[in-house]
Amino acid sequence: MWMQIKQSWSNLAQREKQLVTLLMVFLTFVLFYSLIWFPIQSENDRMKLAVEKSSNEWVWLNQQASLVTQQTVGSPRLDIQTKTELMRFVQDELKSENLMHQMQELQLTAKGVTVSFNEVNAPRFLRWLSKLESQGLIAKNIQLMPIKAGFAKARVEFEVVQ
């Protein structure tokens, strides 16, 4: 095979040899660009955009973190020392929001109180949680599962702050 190539090469005129050499150089550059340079360059551009997006998200998160710390510092704090005081407070708030009849279970736990609902009016429930938070009582764990339009199954855990 190499012999045939050498023989064909030697049969070419000087100008044809220069054109074939120029074509080979051109094809080498085209292959290099299409197989190596272009994929690397496009991936580099994609990564630069991803870094810029991540940087913007990082700045936004830092801004939000400072807002959250400002809100928690300024939020009121309840003076509830025992689980029974916590239970009484939660019961009073359930009554004031008219959620007592929808409640399935109000139970004392090792650290606080758990309130469960099989089917609760979701807007009223969320309003109740918001009211508790504005008074300084923050839920430690919330499980909320939609059942049908406007109603959800919910479980909320509150703990005594020590």
Place of tokens 């309840």: 78
* pLDDT at position 48 over 90: yes
- Quick: pLDDT tens for 14-44: 999 999 999 999 999 999 999 999 999 999 9
Burial grade of 157 (CB within 10 A; 0-12, 13-18, 19 or more)? middle
Count Cα neighbours of 20 within 13 Å in the Cβ-side half-sphere.
11
- Quick: pLDDT tens for 104-123: 998 888 888 899 999 998 89
The mean pLDDT value for 66-77 works out to: 62
For position 76, what pLDDT does the model report? 56
The mean pLDDT value for 61-67 works out to: 82
More confident residue, 12 or 65: 12
For helices 122-134 and 83-96, angle between their N-to-C axes, nearest 10 degrees? 130
- pTM tops 0.85: no
Beta carbons within 8 Å of 147's beta carbon, 6+ residues apart? 119, 153
